[in-house]
Structure formats: C-alpha cells, structure tokens
C-alpha cells in the first residue's frame, strides 16, 4: 500500500502541485465573506503544502527501496534554509508589499491589509525558492548517490551509481564553469564536484555536477575510501 501511495504522489508533477498559491488570492479576496468561503481555499493551500512534503518523503522511501540494501547504508543530508538570504529577501518583499498596498488600497474594494497579505503570501508560496533556496536532499547508499533538487516548479530526481562517477572533488563554487549546480543556495561558496567517467557527462543535460551538503565532512565519511581520497583534493 505504501509503495503504491509513493508512486502516486511521485507521479504528480511538481508544477501541478505548486498551483495551490492561486487559492491564496481567493482566500484574501473573500476574507470578509462567511468563513466557509475562505476555509475552502485555505484547505487547498494546506493540501498543497502537505503534498510537497509528502513527495519529498516518498522520494526518500522509494530511493531506499530501490537502491539501498536491507540493512545497508542510507545516509541523508538536507541543507537547511540560508537564514541570512531569507531574512534579506523577505524584508525587501515586506517593504515593497507595504508600499504597493499603500498606493493601491481601495482598488478592487481591497483594503491595505488585504493587498499587503495578498502580495506577500502569494510571493512566498509561489516563489518560495527565491526566499528560502531550492529544497535539496542528498542520499548516499552502498550503490551510489541520490539527489532530489527542486529549483522552481520542476524537480530533478537523480541516482548516480558509483560506477558512473570517476571522482568527487572538494572545490569552490564557480558559475563560470560548465557545471550543473544542485545546491540549496546557488551562491554557496564551497561544495563537491562530481565528475563522470563518461566524457559526455552523466546525461545529455548534466555534465559535471556540483553539490553542497550541509555537513560536508560527514558526507565525505560516508563515501568509499577511494572517493574520500579524491574528495580531499581541491580545485
């Protein structure tokens, strides 16, 4: 049963799930109506948020089922929200929303607070990765490295077998190189560069892959010894 439910939620495109922020517009527009009206659309938002968390948990469960031995290694690393970036961008959002709410209060029969919460809420729900970074999860099993990266309204789900990886190098981030950066904050300073054995890359779209685990040292300790040796070399 659990496996079927996991497959069901994973089959839903993240683009479809992330349409729930539009319900926020109706929540604000109808907040002076009877509570039942706003409650219906509020429930849509709650369902959308739960579905996003469920999809993340289902990916972990499915990765364990397909790529981890029964009592084998299953190390999970989830980079946290970059607090400084979030505070800075939320502050800017609040100031801009406040200014626009002041300028346009009364339009469409909306009060200052309705416009303010409409702008801030919709922006946070719809452009969450702009404020909190892209939700990212890394997994290490005995077979390889799993990655789930959701930079916007799509998510990437990868599993790189160790046989596909030539080396893993600890290095500084640089957007000047031909790397795919799968990291929560794109401007993270340091991380790990995964270099494929195939000179054409891991796939047509992914050549070399840069990741940034939350606990880099512990992440490295989970890798086979040969990768730990390669990973300690920077550059």
Q: What is the pLDDT of residue 15?
A: 92
Q: What is the pLDDT of residue 228?
A: 62
Q: What percent of the chain has pLDDT over 90?
A: 66
Question: Please, what is the Cα angle at 88 between 42 and 177, to 5 degrees?
Answer: 105
The CA distance from 119 to 101, in Å, is 8
Q: What is the pLDDT of residue 121?
A: 95
Per-residue pLDDT tens for 153-188? 999 999 999 999 988 988 888 766 778 999 998 888
Per-residue pLDDT tens for 13-56? 999 999 999 999 999 888 767 667 788 899 999 999 999 999 99
Per-residue pLDDT tens for 77-130? 999 999 999 999 999 999 999 999 999 988 888 899 999 999 999 999 999 999
Q: What is the pLDDT of residue 204?
A: 82
Q: What percent of the chain has pLDDT over 70?
A: 94
Own/partner long-range contacts of 51-57 (Cβ < 8 Å, ≥24 apart): 51/9, 51/12, 51/17, 52/14, 52/17, 52/18, 54/9, 55/9, 55/10, 55/12, 55/14, 55/17, 55/155, 56/135, 56/137, 56/148
User: Residue 69 has what DSSP assignment?
Assistant: -
Is the pLDDT confidence value at 230 over 50? Answer: no
The CA distance from 31 to 117, in Å, is 11
The CA distance from 227 to 63, in Å, is 21
Coil, helix or strand at residue 222: coil
User: Residue 142 has what DSSP assignment?
Assistant: S
Nearest Cα to Cα of residue 134 among 159, 147, 152? 152
Q: What is the pLDDT of residue 174?
A: 76
Of 225 and 58, the structure prediction assigns the larger pLDDT to 58
Burial of 124 (0-12, 13-18, 19+ CB in 10 A): middle
Question: What tokens appear for 57 in the block?
Answer: 């948990």
Question: Residue 71 — pLDDT band, cuts 50, 70, 90?
Answer: confident
Measured CA distances, 73 to 84, 142, 183 (Å):
33, 6, 23
Q: What is the pLDDT of residue 231?
A: 47
The CA distance from 78 to 173, in Å, is 19
The model carries a pTM of 0.88
């Amino acid at each position: 049963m659990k496996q079927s439910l996991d497959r069901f939620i994973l089959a839903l495109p993240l683009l479809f799930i992330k349409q729930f922020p539009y319900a926020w517009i109706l929540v604000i527009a109808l907040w002076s109506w009877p509570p039942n009206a706003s409650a219906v659309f509020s429930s849509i938002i709650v369902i959308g948020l739960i579905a996003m968390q469920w999809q993340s948990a289902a990916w972990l469960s499915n990765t364990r089922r397909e790529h981890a031995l029964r009592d084998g290694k299953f190390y999970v690393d989830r980079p946290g929200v970059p607090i400084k970036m979030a505070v800075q961008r939320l502050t800017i959002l609040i100031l801009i929303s406040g200014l626009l709410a002041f300028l346009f209060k009364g339009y469409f029969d909306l009060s200052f607070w309705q416009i303010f919460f409409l702008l801030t809420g919709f922006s946070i729900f719809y452009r969450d990765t702009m404020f909190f970074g892209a939700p990212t999860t890394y997994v290490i099993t005995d077979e390889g490295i799993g990655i789930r990266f959701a930079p916007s309204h799509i998510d990437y789900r990868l599993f790189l077998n160790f046989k596909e990886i030539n080396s893993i190098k600890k290095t500084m981030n640089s957007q000047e190189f031909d790397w795919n950066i799968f990291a929560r904050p794109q401007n993270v300073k340091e991380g790990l560069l995964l270099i494929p054995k195939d000179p054409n890359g891991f796939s047509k779209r992914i050549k070399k892959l840069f990741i940034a685990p939350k606990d880099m040292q512990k992440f490295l300790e989970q890798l086979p010894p040969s990768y730990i040796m390669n990973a300690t070399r920077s550059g």
